[in-house]
Structure 1
Amino acid sequence: MPFPGGLWWLLCCRQGFTLLRRDYGEADREADGEAEEEEASFELRAQGDQGSLEVSLSQPTRSSSGSERSLLVAEEMRSLIIEKGPGPVEDDPDALVKGWLQREVRGGMKTPWIRPRKYWFVLTPDSLDYYSSNEKGARRLGSLVLTSLCSVLWPDKQTYKETGYWSVTVFGRKHCYRLYTEHLNEAVHWVCAVRKVIDSKAPVQTPTQLLMRDVEEHCGSPEVLEQIYRCNPILRYTSSPLYAPLLPFPYGSLDQSAPSPRSYTTLRDEAVKLFNSLQQLESERDPVPLMQGVLQTCLDLPPLVDEIYCQLVKQTTEPPAPGGQGDLHYWQLLTCMSCTFLPSLPVLRFLHFHLDRTESRFPGSEMAKYACFIREALGKTKGRECVPSLEEILVLMQRQEMICTVHCPGAPACSVAISSHTTAEEVAQELVSRLGLSQSPNLFALYEQSRRREQPVGSTTLLADVLTRFENLAGEEREQDPPCRLCFKHYGFLDTDSVPRDSLEFALLFEQAHEMVLRGYVPTSEETLQTLAALRLQSLNSDFSTHAPFPRLEELFPPHVLHARLPAPRRRPSTKCRGARLRAGLLAGGLWGQALAKQRAERDQRLRGRLREEGASTMAAIVEKWKLLQGMGRPEAMAAYVALVREWPGFGSTLFDVDLRASPVGAGPQRLWLGIGAKAVSLYKPGEPEPLDSFCYGRISSFGASDSSTFRLSVEDRDLLFETSQVDEIAQLLNTYLASAGARQPLRPQEPTPSPPTSDPPTLPQGLCPPAVPWQHRPPVGSLGS
């Protein structure tokens, strides 16, 4: 027998009120002792737990049947429930938008012979309802209550291409309405109206947020605080799963437009999954990978940082075995979080209160030691680019520092103790002091070295992030690739003439000059390159001996010189006729293809044989020159090596491979070397010893990044555009040289001023040409110094 109309309305209204009440964070309690509806609660308690779920929203000294704050919330939610008749009314004053929309589109593309089913939708200030028709007395088929946590998606063109309809997606607590219309303006009108209703709603606050406020208000009353914790299990440890997050998150799916190797669902679902992962920590023998996974999720989804902090505070509050293995795992993850992420201010205040409470309740315990460590870490954490590495997590679990190995060319490697907050500049300064380079006029920095490239580490970059990147790259590279490492080297060459030959700095200068030679950045004759290789051997092994260890040729001589001797591969003439290309493709896939592959393999084998022959003859010439250096000591060999390299006018400059284009719409780019030195910026044609052009810093009016791969250098009345992948490195090096030379003026607007300045230009160091126009620095985007 069907329900009477009045009873059916009462049940629907009761269910809508319960839904609203839960969204506003009020606890579900029944005075007659009936069972609670656990499925939608914020925390599901096991049947063995004593007592019912009770959330006190104000002073716990009052009666547990309700509080002033919960009564106000209840009254507010009751005001949202509007009594409605059995169907839509055309002149309903609460209806904001009304119209026909389709609930779903099935079958993919739009078909003209099948008329889709439409429903009558009515948007009110509290809900989005749809009916079977627009007639009075029509049956209401569904309703979506709108709160501040609801969300709506704009119509996208991809859905229109696939279905022929513009979509409007509205996410609610339990339901998601995907609505469709044929007209874009109608879809936009619905989206704007729904968005306006959502924005007008008061922010939803969960019981955890309200209790955090209560704890903060009564932090000076221990009796009230103990009653708050005793009467509210949601603040304490639980062994049961969590079916809803502790903090409010918007309903709806995440934006997966950004490329990411990981796929996530909604924030609410990810928060619940993370709590399940936290509970697995208690029994894990090796919790480090699981901890790193939790940290990575927080890095990918920043809104979850506060949620994980609240979950960890909850699980470390009155655990069943304080100081046990499971409890310490929670504290260890909280330690890693404090060294990686900084929570919002409300959560940070609640966390500090939790740390103080733990230290006062368990003085001298492991939990108190972790609490003290976390408090100090929170004062230093500023955000990370990467999550802690496995090694760093192990060290943080012991509340210790990491040992970082920094390689110094020409000197033994140095071991430096670092924390999660140590920057590259701090380590570089420590090495400068340790190696006795404090009096050197030159500049030093740390470099990331890998098989593919070498780049300086930004002064504010955390070394812990660099080590994490090394750990990630180690899993991607092949076994024969050398591991990534940190190196301490010259960064800016301000004065290379006054470096003593018997100093450690000269050894660093010698090694860096040799690296430039091997990379082909010292254009000189092949005879000179062989002499440099012989001097290198003399510095390594002293006098010639058949028993001396012999390095590989590519460690002594630039490999590109040998490759340049090989004959260039002959290019086959391009076939313009379509039929000829088709025949060539068919032949390549048959027997002719196998013959061509065989010919290609034979040609490669001949080239390798030719390369070995050239290498052997070059090595023989190097050995003959090495024999002539009999009796030369290591310092003399190093000095002779550096003197030969110094003959190149560009010695001391840092070279960057760039493509020059005269204007954004000019001709094709020209491959050049951009040399940045202490006194000038020069342009070289690769392999040519003399520069094509050179600009002292006084002629440069501005510089900066036009985009992520284009560097702009304004010289007097012209702009030079360079295409390069090292925009930030170039800008940072220019900033460094200008700061050291004292040629940079205070920042001004990016557009040059038409009138000359009234003040006299500053006095420049000797060797710098006078400025033609006032210096105007255009700061690059994301420079290393930032």
Structure 2
Amino acid sequence: MPFPGGLWWLLCCRQGFTLLRRDYGEAGKGGADDDEAEESFELRSKGDEGAPLQVNVTQPSRTSSGSERSLPVSEETHSLITEKKSGRLQGEPDAIVKGWLQRDVRGGIKTPWLRPRKYWFVLTEDSLDYYSGCEVTARCLGSLVLTSLCSVLWPDKQTYKETGYWAVTVFGRKHCYRLYTEHLNEAVHWVCALQKVIISKPPVQTPTQLLMCDIEENRNSPEILDQIYQNNPILCYTAGPIYAPLLPFPYAAPGGQGYAGIRDEAVKLFHSLQQLEGLREPALLMQGVLQTCHDLPALVDEIYCQLVKQTTEPPAPGAAADLRYWQLLACMSCTFRPSLPVLCYLQLHLQRTENQFPDSEATWYGRFIAEALHKTKGRECVPSLEEIAGLMGRQETECGVHCPSIATCHVAVTSQTTVQEVALELMLRLGLAHSPNSFALYEESWQHVRPLPEDALVADVLTRFESSAGEEPPRKPPGRLWFRHYGCLNLDCVPCNSQEFAVLFEQGISRWSIVCWAVGSPARGQAASGVEAVPVQPFPGDSFSDGSCRVRTETDTGDEAARDQPGGHVVGLWVCPL
């Protein structure tokens, strides 16, 4: 009587694996070879088993992407990957670490009766190779070239709990190795050795970076610059996609905050830039690009390079599609400051555009961008939709500030206007420039009322108001700016009929009630004094936890003629809690 199918497979599986010579990754037949071909990494050996390993590194070329560099393929390959010239030697004197490791544990459950696939891994100064066995004549199944862009993930407990193995993940240019071992100290030893090799590698430079250096060196030779742009399409506008970032990023570098990897996000953003050409209302998409750069600061230089690329040799200079890139470049220049090499590259691009198209819209945007780059500092928030609309037209944004006792004051602000600058302008408008009291801008929302730091950007506050719009509870006012008194109150020489007195009179804080005695210029036969209630901030150090009141008085030392002057002075102040 034959065994049931499941039990028969259980008894024969190990013998079957041995017959198929798959215990340690030896050569299989049919599907096994196909699987290995699918999982091949940076390099691949196609020679016989007994022949010495000869590997020749090349890099694939895409003619449709527009992101290639017009250098010889051998030169570009040498700049990115070091060729491996020697085969496997007896005793492997160049090996840093070698040993048996498992790869791609499947099923998620450790099963003692099923022997996992093992390979003989050898780490050298140039690559991580794996073989079918530890013999010198063993076939090389793959090799991962190590550059400064490679990265390694440390083993984590979660993978160990799920599989029973400690995992070491090595990310390369196209693929990655996921290696497993049963011993933590062995996994840590491999990770440390891999990181040491990666750190020792010289920085990788992309074709765009190399061409940026060439442009900087020949900045005073227009003929050579034109030839560089003409011979290198990677620097010019392209209607097709790109398949790799223009700048180097570590392989599999995490994006964080729900984003994909940095390299993937860079490619996605280029596609988003191309969508701007056909949008009639591009402000929302521009804000999304700016927010991505704000969340992932490593992409700021990349987006600058992409925008320079798309505004170089466009098919229709000055058209609406071309101006979309210039408008986003204006928003970027008012929000982020690029690194020094990218800044020099951008400034040369702006100068070259002005020489090619004088008095054009692109030239006016270029001048606006150059001026903004001199003032741009770090932004807490990305521009609001209203600010983006103003930047697209190279105009200032109008900001409304509420002032006590008067209507709302409208102030024109730029992306770099500070709170202190707005406060000083309002003090000049209201005649408070010589006042002994201090005034500041306050941020008022349904959550809090607080004074703003002097160096805070008004544009960031407006963006916070826009972001919180619609989140207020019912019957709660939206966020707004207030111009109010700040600090200690100085009552010397505050005329009752002055704008300053009106501002102080209207200002209030819910916990305090302040009453002032003001002596004015009475008419004949009328009382010589009046009482005015002025709610202001409490004095520093005043504490009224016991419910008591405090009286502060100031004696008018002027003569009788001074009392007859119009307006009078505040001579007494009574503070009590509400």
TM-score (norm 1): 0.59
Give distance in 1, aligned partners of 2:475 and 2:210: 57
Offset, 1:451: 1.6
Give distance in 1, aligned partners of 2:275 and 2:360: 24
Q: Classify 1:688/1:99 alpha carbon distance in 2 versus 1 (closer, same or farther; 3 Å).
A: farther
Q: Which residue of 1 aligns with 2:391?
A: 396
Aligned positions of 1:532-681 closer than 5 A: 639-642=531-534, 652-653=538-539, 677=540, 681=541
Q: Which residue of 1 aligns with 2:58?
A: 18
Structure 1, unpaired ranges of 5+: 20-27, 29-36, 47-52, 57-65, 525-531, 536-631, 654-676, 692-786
Q: Classify 1:294/1:415 alpha carbon distance in 2 versus 1 (closer, same or farther; 3 Å).
A: same
Give distance in 1, aligned partners of 2:366 and 2:434: 42
Structure 2 SS opposite 1:431: helix
Is 1:520 equivalent to 2:515 in the alignment? Answer: no
Per-residue CA shift, 1:429-486, capped at 9, x if unaligned? 1111111111211111101101221011111111111101100000433463311000
The correspondence for 2:349, drawn from 349, 354, 367, is 354
Per-residue CA shift, 1:86-137, capped at 9, x if unaligned? xxx6720111011222222333354555443332221111111122332333
Give distance in 2, aligned partners of 1:90 and 1:683: 86
Structure 1 SS opposite 2:375: coil
Structure 1 SS opposite 2:408: strand
Question: For the Cα contact (< 8 Å) 1:411–1:504, is it kept in 2?
Answer: no
Q: Which residue of 1 aligns with 2:424?
A: 429
Q: Classify 1:225/1:45 alpha carbon distance in 2 versus 1 (closer, same or farther; 3 Å).
A: closer
Is 1:83 equivalent to 2:86 in the alignment? Answer: yes
Offset, 1:504: 2.0
Give distance in 2, aligned partners of 1:145 and 1:172: 7
Matched AA of 1:251: Y
Question: For the Cα contact (< 8 Å) 1:246–1:311, is it kept in 2?
Answer: yes
Q: Which residue of 1 aligns with 2:559?
A: none
Aligned positions of 1:62-461 closer than 5 A: 66=72, 80-85=83-88, 91-254=91-254, 256=256, 260=257, 263-461=258-456
Give distance in 2, aligned partners of 1:397 and 1:285: 13
Question: For the Cα contact (< 8 Å) 2:236–2:314, is it kept in 1?
Answer: yes
Give distance in 1, aligned partners of 2:134 and 2:182: 19
RMSD (Å), alpha carbons: 3.0
Give distance in 2, aligned partners of 1:196 and 1:150: 11
Structure 1 SS opposite 2:469: helix
Per-residue CA shift, 1:555-605, capped at 9, x if unaligned? xxxxxxxxxxxxxxxxxxxxxxxxxxxxxxxxxxxxxxxxxxxxxxxxxxx
Report which stretch shifted further, 427-436 or 157-166.
Answer: 157-166
Give distance in 1, aligned partners of 2:337 and 2:434: 39
Per-residue CA shift, 1:5-52, capped at 9, x if unaligned? 3599899823xx114xxxxxxxx6xxxxxxxx42xx7x7149xxxxxx
Question: For the Cα contact (< 8 Å) 2:131–2:142, is it kept in 1?
Answer: yes
Q: Classify 1:8/1:132 alpha carbon distance in 2 versus 1 (closer, same or farther; 3 Å).
A: closer
Give distance in 2, aligned partners of 1:404 and 1:472: 16
Question: For the Cα contact (< 8 Å) 1:449–1:484, is it kept in 2?
Answer: yes
Give distance in 1, aligned partners of 2:102 and 2:315: 53
Structure 2 SS opposite 1:13: coil
Offset, 1:266: 1.1
Per-residue CA shift, 1:737-780, capped at 9, x if unaligned? xxxxxxxxxxxxxxxxxxxxxxxxxxxxxxxxxxxxxxxxxxxx
Question: For the Cα contact (< 8 Å) 1:496–1:652, is it kept in 2?
Answer: no
- Aligned positions, number: 498
Give distance in 2, aligned partners of 1:291 and 1:187: 45
Q: Which residue of 2 aligns with 1:55?
A: 70
Give distance in 1, aligned partners of 2:441 and 2:241: 47
Matched AA of 2:87: K
Q: Classify 1:474/1:355 alpha carbon distance in 2 versus 1 (closer, same or farther; 3 Å).
A: same
Q: Classify 1:74/1:171 alpha carbon distance in 2 versus 1 (closer, same or farther; 3 Å).
A: closer
Give distance in 1, aligned partners of 2:228 and 2:333: 26
Offset, 1:161: 3.6
Give distance in 2, aligned partners of 1:54 and 1:424: 47
| Seq. identity, % | 60
Matched AA of 2:312: T
